[in-house]
Chain A
């Protein structure tokens, strides 16, 4: 069973830096694409990007390219999502996901428990 364990809720001020994490098993870390999905009441579910940990190859949604950075630390089999200069509009639930590529189809077959990020002055 694939388990994705996310870091806890964050409360931030506008302009601050955010990094949230997603701890995964060694097997998942070496075989699966890991990504992030944002959920807000206003815009619903939005896919942000993915990373392949063995070579750190990344693909970003055009909507989030240049806005966030996805990275990994192989020593602790953990993926990260970071954002500089937070805005109130970054207030959302962020989910860590695994992406399955099935003959060209792409979908999210495992989800972490979510990390709630609140940004307010």
Chain B
């Protein structure tokens, strides 16, 4: 199974800061990586797919990048409404789709 290890597990930053979340795959995978945002009590929401493609309606401050084993989600200028938990997901080994453990982003 392909494991996705996210880091950090939590981060606290100020409004306007640049925040970077990393997902490392247990082996080299294709660029079939998606990122989701989950706010407390809500379902996850798709932000990024194919490692860097922005889902329609998602603010452009969310930027995905990466290849090989390492993938990142960057929030270029953190906003109060970005307080949430973020998950990566790989699709290299369909039908075994796996998620990372999550990164909680808090606003200072």
CB of B96 within 8 A of CB of A102, answer no
Task: Assess the B95–A102 pair: CB atoms within 8 A.
Answer: no
CB distance from B3 to the nearest CB of A (A): 12
Known contacts A44-B102, A45-B87, A106 near B97 by CB under 8 Å: yes
A109 B55 Cβ-Cβ under 8 A: yes
Complex Cα gap A106–B55 (Å)? 14
Chain A residue with Cβ nearest B45: A111
Alpha-carbon gap, A120 to B96, bound state (A)? 29
Across the interface, A45 reaches (CB within 8 A) one of B46, B50, B99, namely B99
Bound-complex Cα distance A107 to B71 (A) = 16
Per-residue 0/1 for B76-108: is the Cβ within 8 Å of any A Cβ (1 yes, 0 no)?
000000000001010100111111111000000
Q: Measured between C-beta atoms, what is the minimum distance from B84 to chain A in Å?
A: 14
**Contact between B49 and A107 (Cβ–Cβ < 8 Å)?**
yes
CB contact list, B37-90 vs A, under 8 A: 43-46, 49-50, 55, 87, 89
- Report if A111-B96 is in contact (Cβ < 8 Å); known contacts: A105-B49, A105-B91: no
Bitwise interface map of A from 98 to 120 toward B, beta carbon under 8 Å scored 1, else 0: 00101011111111111000000
Interface of A: prevailing SS: strand
Set A45, A62, A107, A113: member contacting B95, Cβ < 8 A: A62
Which residue of the partner chain, among B50, B95, B98, B99, contacts A105 with CB atoms under 8 Å?
B50
B100's nearest neighbour on chain A, judged by CB, is A44
Cα A24 to Cα B16 with chains together (Å): 39
Cβ-defined contact, A46 with B99, below 8 A: yes
Closest-CB distance, A117 to chain B (whole angstroms): 15
Measured between beta carbons, the chain B residues less than 8 angstroms from A114 are 43
Chain B interface (Cβ within 8 Å of chain A)?
Answer: 30, 32, 34, 36, 43-46, 49-50, 55, 87, 89, 91, 94-102
Known: A47-B98, A109-B49. 12 other contacts (CB 8 A): A44-B87, A44-B99, A45-B89, A63-B96, A106-B97, A107-B32, A107-B91, A108-B44, A109-B46, A111-B44, A111-B45, A113-B43
